[in-house]
């Protein structure tokens, strides 16, 4: 299988092949050459040596003066041209926050791979970082080193993510009791007095407050039935909803992104979905469609107005409703986990669920978004007990 962006692949005969470019004899153009080896690491090292040997002394002197920071900035320029702006800013922020102070001054040609590995191990062990951020740091460091290897003829082994013991997190879902309390608030209708009622409390009855509350409740209900990401939900337009076919189409997302040179630290940016698999058509139930129809107006966005709703605003409103329902503090993303867990618990095919969630691989769906509850485990074991009882009856 090819290593993307590295021109390294495993051949059908079992050997690894690495291609590289060098100048021809009169240095008028570049040509491709290949080296072969029995492993990825061996062929990468072999290619680096061949590239150094094939280039002029001036090229070699240039590569020896290259620091990690220079290669990183050049790599980021390339990323800015090829990837979404939000992706570029994410990579840049990770580099500036975590990698620049660790590797920035390192001379790539004189710094052995073991030294870089020890540096990143020390940084990741001292910082209290999530598993996702730790993986991103290591991944971006390796991409920069790979870029430097291609451009400056240096060969540094791939950095490995150090193993750090983490306290297992609680499952990312809501119990049935918590779901029941939340749905009781979400599905409450307007009382005859004109006030919004949640349990024994009367919600803010100021002008516009009722509509805002109904929008948030509808957004929660929609997410519990579709598993939409928060950004996808806030960017949803009425034109994305097909009432005849009872579907919605995910065409865009919205998020707050840091912008270089901007007066404010961040701006609200509408962009393409997270990945190609995130572009999808999701079926809707009749009750969700009816709830959406009640909100229908002449504004372009379902939950916003002339512009998409800020995800932070939806997050704030969601937390208020959680408090009303007597449910502990959670982020809006918990609803995506609840949706996935409930779908599996009710027998949905995992491939269908993966496509509804917009995942490229069913492994992501199972490993990150499905959290069997104790009630589900107990029901499954009771079914097994009944099965054993049937066997015992047959033997008797």
Task: Output the pLDDT for position 353.
Answer: 92
Record the pTM. Answer: 0.70
Domains 68-167 and 176-378 share a fold: no
The pLDDT-based confidence of 192 (bands split at 50, 70, 90) is: very low
> Any idea where the domains of the chain sit in the sequence?
1-55, 68-167, 176-378
Distance from C-alpha of 20 to C-alpha of 280, rounded to nearest angstrom:
39
The pLDDT-based confidence of 169 (bands split at 50, 70, 90) is: low
Across 10-14, 156-160, 256-260, which has the greatest mean pLDDT? 10-14
Least confident of 161-165, 198-202, 214-218, 357-361: 198-202
Residues in the chain: 396
Share of the chain above pLDDT 90, in %: 31
5: left (phi over 0), alpha (psi -120 to 50) or beta: left
Task: Output the pLDDT for position 264.
Answer: 59
Dig out the tokens for 346 from the structure: 């009710």
- What is the average per-residue pLDDT within 264-272? 81
Work out the angle at residue 155's Cα, subtended by the Cα atoms of residues 152 and 157, and round it to the nearest 5 degrees. Answer: 140
The pLDDT-based confidence of 244 (bands split at 50, 70, 90) is: very high
Share of the chain above pLDDT 70, in %: 80
Cβ 23 vs Cβ 30: under 8 Å: yes
Dig out the tokens for 299 from the structure: 């504004």
Residue-averaged pLDDT of the chain: 81
Who wins on pLDDT, 296 or 162? Answer: 296
Work out the angle at residue 87's Cα, subtended by the Cα atoms of residues 86 and 88, and round it to the nearest 5 degrees. Answer: 90
Distance from C-alpha of 332 to C-alpha of 222, rounded to nearest angstrom:
12
The pLDDT-based confidence of 301 (bands split at 50, 70, 90) is: very high
Q: 3-state SS of the chain: helix, strand, coil percent to 5?
A: 55, 15, 35
Q: What is the pLDDT of residues 386-396, one digit of tens each?
A: 877 788 766 54
- What is the average per-residue pLDDT within 252-258? 87
Who wins on pLDDT, 373 or 336? Answer: 336
Has residue 180 got a pLDDT over 80? yes
Across 149-158, 212-221, 234-243, 255-264, which has the greatest mean pLDDT? 234-243
Strand order in the sheet with 30-37: 8-10, 16-23, 30-37
Who wins on pLDDT, 3 or 195? Answer: 3
Q: What is the pLDDT of residues 134-146, one digit of tens each?
A: 889 989 998 998 8
Cβ 196 vs Cβ 210: under 8 Å: yes
Has residue 107 got a pLDDT over 90? no
Task: Output the pLDDT for position 171.
Answer: 59
The pLDDT-based confidence of 40 (bands split at 50, 70, 90) is: confident
Q: Encode 43-90 in three state secondary structure.
A: HHHHHHHHHHHHCCHHHHHHHHCCEHHHHHHHHHHHHHHHCCHHHHHH
Distance from C-alpha of 323 to C-alpha of 203, rounded to nearest angstrom:
12
Which of 219, 241, 243, 239 lies closest to 231 in space, CA to CA? 219
Task: Output the pLDDT for position 386.
Answer: 81
Q: Where are the beta strands (DSSP E) in the chain?
A: 8-10, 16-23, 30-37, 197-198, 201-202, 241-242, 247-250, 253-258, 266-271, 280-283
Task: Output the pLDDT for position 76.
Answer: 92
Has residue 91 got a pLDDT over 60? yes
Has residue 48 got a pLDDT over 80? no
Distance from C-alpha of 129 to C-alpha of 190, rounded to nearest angstrom:
44
Task: Output the pLDDT for position 200.
Answer: 42
Task: Output the pLDDT for position 202.
Answer: 44
The pLDDT-based confidence of 226 (bands split at 50, 70, 90) is: very high
Distance from C-alpha of 130 to C-alpha of 166, rounded to nearest angstrom:
9
Domain 176-378 = CATH 1.10.443.10: yes
The pLDDT-based confidence of 207 (bands split at 50, 70, 90) is: very low
Who wins on pLDDT, 112 or 69? Answer: 69
Class of domain 68-167: mainly alpha
Which of 218, 169, 173 lies closest to 343 in space, CA to CA? 173
Who wins on pLDDT, 328 or 108? Answer: 328
- Residue 248's SS3 state is strand
């Amino acid at each position: 299988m090819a290593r993307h962006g590295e021109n390294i692949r495993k051949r059908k005969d079992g050997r690894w092949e690495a291609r590289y470019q060098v100048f021809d004899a009169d240095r008028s153009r570049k040509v491709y050459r290949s080296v072969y080896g029995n492993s990825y690491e061996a062929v990468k090292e072999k290619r680096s040596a061949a590239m150094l040997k094939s280039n002029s002394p001036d090229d070699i002197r240039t590569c020896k003066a290259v620091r990690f920071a220079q290669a990183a900035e050049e790599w980021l320029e390339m990323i800015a041209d090829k990837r979404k702006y939000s992706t570029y800013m994410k990579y840049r922020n990770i580099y500036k926050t975590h990698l620049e102070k660790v590797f920035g001054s390192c001379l790539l040609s004189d710094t052995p791979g073991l030294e870089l590995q020890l540096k990143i191990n020390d940084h990741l062990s001292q910082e209290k970082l999530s598993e996702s951020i730790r993986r991103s740091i290591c991944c971006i460091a390796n991409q920069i080193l790979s870029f430097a290897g291609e451009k400056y003829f240096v060969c540094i082994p791939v950095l490995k993510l150090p193993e750090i013991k983490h306290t297992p997190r609680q499952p990312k879902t809501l119990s049935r009791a918590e779901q029941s309390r939340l749905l009781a608030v979400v599905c409450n209708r307007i009382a005859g007095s004109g006030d919004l009622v949640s349990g024994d409390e009367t919600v803010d009855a100021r002008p516009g407050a009722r509509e805002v509350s109904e929008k948030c409740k509808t957004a929660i209900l929609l997410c519990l039935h579709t598993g939409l990401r928060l950004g996808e939900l806030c960017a949803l337009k009425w034109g994305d909803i097909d009432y005849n076919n009872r579907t919605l189409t995910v065409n865009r997302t919205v998020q707050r992104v840091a912008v270089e040179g901007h007066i404010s630290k961040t701006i609200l940016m509408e962009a393409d979905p997270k990945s190609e698999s995130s572009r999808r058509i999701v079926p809707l139930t009749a009750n969700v469609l009816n709830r959406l129809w009640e909100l229908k107006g002449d504004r372009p966005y379902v939950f916003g107005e002339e512009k998409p709703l800020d995800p932070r605003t939806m997050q704030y409103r969601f937390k208020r409703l959680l408090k009303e329902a007597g449910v502990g503090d959670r982020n809006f993303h918990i609803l995506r986990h609840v949706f996935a867990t409930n779908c599996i618990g009710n027998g949905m095919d995992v491939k269908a669920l993966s496509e509804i969630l917009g995942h490229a691989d069913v492994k992501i769906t199972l490993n990150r978004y499905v959290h069997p509850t104790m009630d589900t485990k107990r029901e499954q074991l009771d079914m097994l007990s009944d099965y054993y009882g049937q066997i015992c009856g047959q033997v008797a």
